[in-house]
Chain A
Amino acid sequence: MKISVVCFSDELLIANSLLSQISVKQTENSIELWVLGGIDDTQKVKKLNIQKITEIIPSEQAHLKEPVCCADAVYKCFCRHPVDVIVLPSGLRGDDLAARLSVLISGGCMLQAIEFSCDESGASVRKPVYSGNLHATFRFETLPLVLSLIPSPNEEKEQSNDTPELARFEAKTEPPAWLTNIEYESTENGDLLKSSELVIAAGRGVGKAESFRKLEELAEVMGGVLGGTRPAVYDGKIPRERMIGSSAAVLSPKCSIVFGASGAAPFLAGVEKSKLLIAVNRDPNALIFDNCDVGVIADCNEFAEALLQKYRNG
């Protein structure tokens, strides 16, 4: 069984998480890493738990931003070096690329998987369904298969001395002719949320816009970042790039404090990888209390104010 893990050069170390989630029950197999875009940091390469890396370089650096070009570049690499399974990191980019690739190679596909294993007779994939309330296991008898795996929190490998074998594949890519006036805008806000060690998550229960502003202030004094549930975002209380959950940002901070959210499965998927999960809700039966480490039964805005006071008073 030949497996290729594909990731973007700007999130190289995610590969380690994916590699640790793949279980291969076969005598003869090989796993390699394909990196979209050039690797500029050789120190990072040494931290990867892999022997063979291929850099996939599209015709222009700008093409890395274009999903169609990325899919085309990986597809061309696949045609030259066919593999049985392609694994990508789940997320908006990875899911999109996985789906496009599966169409190009006419292969099976599964997005947002949490486990993958393969044996002589095929591949098994586990993934959340019914908005994350259930887990399903699927079996693919025919390959190739493309899947996106939700990365588990990254265990960075200690720097090793053996440098992996590095190859380069240049792919001729062209931007789609049917798109013009293309503008890319980066959203720093979302990145801040993903990299923060403390996340304050605000749900619908927070209520008024001024209460959300209070939580923003709390996040600031605590050295964290404010994100929100879907209703908080859809109601315009939190910027869209700060949305947390299965269809938005999946986070793994040291600590998350959730204010006024019921704990619906799609939202929980975004915070359940937090090391410490604290929930504040006025309803003692709220679902979130079945899924957190520390619970505070209180009006979330009064509790936020009390926390803020403690910080203000040092």
Chain B
Amino acid sequence: MNILCCFKIVSDLDLVMERDWSSADVSGVDLSYVKKVISCFDEAGIETALRIKDSAEKQGETVHITAITLGNGKYEAFFKNLFAVGVERILQGTLSTERLFSPYMLSGILSELAGNCEYDLVITGMQSADGANGLTPYFLAERQGIPCINNVSELQYTDGKLKVTCDMGNGVRKATVHTPALYAIGNSVNPYLRMATLKQKLAVSKLSAETIEISETSYSGGRNAELCSLSHEKKMRHCVFVEGKTCGDKAAKLLEAYPEVVKR
């Protein structure tokens, strides 16, 4: 079985200072100083692929995982870690500029990269932390002519079959899937990527990602929207602190001053 994972390296937005958000304008926001991470749902996607590999191999089936990413950064440390945990091949498509808000274009580029790989299933995250379009999986599946299954919380391989669990908003749906499909991982039951051991890292020290230059112009226009403004919103609330020497004092004051907390 061949699994294709799509992932994106993003800034850890929890670490961005408030004042940096305030300086954002249509040209973007400077996040160059911020630590990079694999976008959270993509991280869960790669872990999902590794778990499928673990269980398929226990059932005597070989699994090859290829991962593709877009971006110009030097992500060797991430790539080494992915090789170490079990990804066999990584393709990095380079872009002339970051295309945060053009999911249709991104899906075209990813689709071109996917054309270099054989796969039985594609795994992506449901949404990136920065662009937050949430559309790339659907557009990529459309371009590849395969169904898109979104909000996947678990994907298991048993008896030669893929069983998928999805969050549906008002419940969950479990089903067996019989076709090559794209699985967009949401709030996964296995959200974190496993750690590589030193031995695993040493074993892949010579591996590196393949870089592919992509001509983006062929994917511009169409369903892409134009970004007109980017701004940080002013806070709407003003905090009043509850004073008191002990927690008991503060609790009493809170209940006294805000009866709506008590009455229900």
Contact = CB atoms under 8 A, between A and B. Distances in A.
A56 to B, nearest CB: 18
Contact of A139 (B186, B191, B226, B251): B226
A112 B132 contact: yes
Contacts of A176: 147
Interface in A288-314: 289-299, 302-303, 305-307, 309-310
A134 B168 contact: no
Interface in A123-173: 124-125, 127-131, 133-141
Instruction: Count chain A CB atoms within 10 A of each CB in B14, B132, B168, B241 and give the residue with the most.
Output: B132
18 contacts: A65-B173, A100-B148, A106-B223, A130-B132, A131-B130, A176-B147, A182-B174, A183-B173, A186-B170, A240-B167, A257-B261, A265-B13, A278-B261, A296-B250, A296-B254, A298-B250, A306-B246, A306-B248
B176 A180 contact: yes
Interface in B132-184: 132-135, 138-139, 142, 147-148, 150-151, 153, 163, 167-179, 181
B171 A179 contact: no
A305 B129 CA distance: 36
A139 B225 contact: yes
Interface stretch (A13-21, A42-50, A79-87, A247-255): A247-255
Contacts of B230: 129, 134-137
A290 B239 contact: yes
Interface in B230-264: 230-233, 235-242, 246-248, 250-252, 254-255, 257-258, 260-262, 264
A237 to B, nearest CB: 13
Given A222-B261, A296-B254, A297-B241, 20 more contacts: A91-B169, A99-B134, A112-B132, A129-B131, A130-B13, A131-B129, A134-B233, A135-B230, A136-B101, A137-B228, A182-B173, A182-B175, A184-B173, A191-B170, A197-B264, A223-B264, A247-B127, A276-B261, A307-B255, A310-B255
Contacts of B250: 296, 298, 303, 306
B15 to A, nearest CB: 10
A38 interface: no
A139 B150 CA distance: 26
A86 to B, nearest CB: 14
B177 A306 contact: no
B187 interface: yes
Contacts of A275: 260
Nearest to A125: B225
Contacts of A299: 247
A102 interface: yes
B251 to A, nearest CB: 4
Contacts of A177: 178
A298 B153 CA distance: 35
A110 B138 contact: no
Interface stretch (B16-24, B53-61, B70-78, B204-212): B16-24
**Taking chain A's interface residues, is the majority helix, strand, or loop, or is none over half, making it mixed?**
mixed
Contact of B264 (A139, A141, A198): A198
B134 A141 contact: no
A217 to B, nearest CB: 15
A275 B246 CA distance: 27
A103 B264 contact: no
B171 A185 contact: yes
A15 B258 CA distance: 32
Nearest to B142: A103
A90 to B, nearest CB: 10
Contact of A134 (B24, B127, B163, B246): B24
A243 interface: yes
Contacts of B139: 103
Contact of A247 (B170, B177, B186, B254): B186
B240 A293 contact: yes
B247 A65 contact: no
Given A179-B177, A222-B261, A129 B130 contact: yes
Nearest to B173: A184
Contacts of A96: 150-151, 169
